[in-house]
Structure 1
Amino acid sequence: MILPAAIDSVGAACAHVLLTPDPRGKLMAARAVARAWRLGRLTHRFDTPMPDRPARPDAPELLPPNKMPRRGKIGSERARIAMLHALAHIEFVAIDLAFDLIGRFGGPFPTDFTSDWMRIGAEEAMHFALLDRRLRQMGSFYGALPAHDGLWQAATETAGDALARLAIVPMVLEARALDITPATIERFESVGDSASARMLGRIMTDEIRHVAAGTKWFCATTEGMGLSPAHHYQILVKRHFRGPVKPPFNDSARRQAGLTRDFYDALAT
């Protein structure tokens, strides 16, 4: 996919991703924007406002989290499809979260911040493509099942504060994925679905780097302000995160990402 010639700034390019509703179109736009940045075709200008909500396709139907149907036991193919569909939706929203972070907050940061999150946005698009392809191999597709509409709440809640966004999205939500993915991989392997298990392992390796990027920029910014990163993280999570921060934690994966226990032990419920 080639970006329209009129899109020559980081801000306009990020808005373009968020305003593309079609799933394939969005992942292609994400890849094209990341490539354009890497090749020096976008100026470091933030001249376009980010939308309050990204454009969404007609399907999947978006439901409140408490209205989502139960997936059932992972032993059935139907339950595995439901699990993979839920993960595909998370990755689809993660594309928008990455580019909204750049377009909304990137201006005051060094260009390396944009480079990190462009790469992450392209990786989220790749994760979505992997999951959608696996769904199609199993006779389904993204949009065939409902998905919950709670994920964008984190972006809405933190729309005015870059540090809050870093604390909640990579350092809480993506860190939680590091906690639960190993058990999910084991469940897929236990029923002989090694293809899905390998794919989830590959995605988790990338997600460690995503949490690491969030932690790196959060720590650099808070330390530059004379704040304790761990203490300020706890303040922001208590203020902005709607839900518990609960064990068990994958301390090893979190530590690889720089998210040590002094950040989250005091928040554990």
Structure 2
Amino acid sequence: MELRQQALRALCAPDPREKAALAAALFGQAQQLSLAPQAPPPPPGVPGRPAQPALVHPARVPRRSPARPEGLAALLHAIAHIEFNAINLALDAAWRFEGLPLAFHHDWLRVAAEEAYHFALLAGHLASLGHAYGDFDAHDGLWAMCEKTAGDVTARMALVPRTLEARGLDATPQIQQKLRQVGTPAALRAVEILDVILRDEVGHVAIGNHWYRFLCDREGLDPVAHYAVLAERYAAPKLYPPFNEEARRRAGFSPEELAALLR
């Protein structure tokens, strides 16, 4: 079996449980897979998605208090949607980009498998609350940046894992604090799941940092200066404090990069 073809197969799977299972299995097989020099062409409908949730403008996604059962379910659904998109993002990187070491593809298969595990944890907790993925509206911001950077692997590494996904490092502790204040067993179980996600996301952002710097070194670019160029070129969202500086340091952000966040 060939790695890129199998990554594309998982990316195109519309059913979330099937996609998660394919991503997990693919990482388990990664060492036995060959790597074609060119990516196979995609069929129509990439990525595969279920009919629900409906995708709406971010401003139309309602915000509810996690102190109420419906609000907690909506919050878990929003995070599950991020994790579902993150599976697709990782599979897309493993399938799409050419001219990179085999380790690049293995890294993104590992990320896809871990995102699939996160999705399964959240889907299971949603089920315990009487809900399922697809029950609430969602938005498509993560995948929109994936599409914008489809032709530029350096931009993809800069603006998806180390920008959009790194925002999760900042936001997760704040979400956990609110859930601890709610204090119900369901809210505290959500805190535990977010502990797992935060631990793994540090590693995912670190992978993005590693390959971004690899690509900058290969192209003779200064990582900090070129990031500003890419952020403007692709209209990346402005990042606002508070920042989880400790997690960002563990994910490989340099002191110069952390200082640049505060400018």
Mark the runs of 5 or more structure 1 residues left unpaired by the alignment. 1-7
Tell me the CA shift for residue 53 of structure 1.
3.1
Mark the runs of 5 or more structure 2 residues left unpaired by the alignment. none
Preserved contact between residue 142 and residue 160 of structure 2 (Cα < 8 Å): no
Tell me the CA shift for residue 174 of structure 1.
1.1
- Is 1:248 matched up with 2:242? yes
Preserved contact between residue 93 and residue 105 of structure 2 (Cα < 8 Å): no
TM-score of the superposed pair, with normalisation by structure 2: 0.93
Tell me the CA shift for residue 241 of structure 1.
3.4
Structural RMSD (CA): 1.6
Match in the other structure for 2:72 = 80
Preserved contact between residue 245 and residue 258 of structure 2 (Cα < 8 Å): no
Match in the other structure for 2:49 = 56
Match in the other structure for 1:32 = 25
Alignment of 1:171-186 (within 5 A): 171-186=162-177
Preserved contact between residue 92 and residue 125 of structure 1 (Cα < 8 Å): yes
Match in the other structure for 1:153 = 144
- Is 1:130 matched up with 2:125? no
Alpha-carbon distance in 1 for matches of 2:149, 2:262: 21
- Is 1:143 matched up with 2:137? no
- After TM superposition, which residue ranges in structure 1, 4 or more long, deviate above 4 angstroms? none
Preserved contact between residue 142 and residue 164 of structure 2 (Cα < 8 Å): no
Per-residue CA deviations over 1:35-77 (Å, capped at 9, x if unaligned) read 2213x1x2111441245731211111111212222x2222112
- Is 1:168 matched up with 2:168? no
Preserved contact between residue 181 and residue 204 of structure 1 (Cα < 8 Å): yes
Per-residue CA deviations over 1:166-194 (Å, capped at 9, x if unaligned) read 01111101110000100101111111121
Preserved contact between residue 82 and residue 145 of structure 1 (Cα < 8 Å): yes
Alignment of 1:91-102 (within 5 A): 91-102=83-94
Preserved contact between residue 50 and residue 103 of structure 1 (Cα < 8 Å): no
Question: Which amino acid in structure 1 is aligned with residue 178 of structure 2?
Answer: R
TM-score of the superposed pair, with normalisation by structure 1: 0.91
Alpha-carbon distance in 2 for matches of 1:154, 1:139: 32
The 3 A distance-change label for structure 1 pair 50 and 261 is farther
Preserved contact between residue 99 and residue 118 of structure 1 (Cα < 8 Å): yes
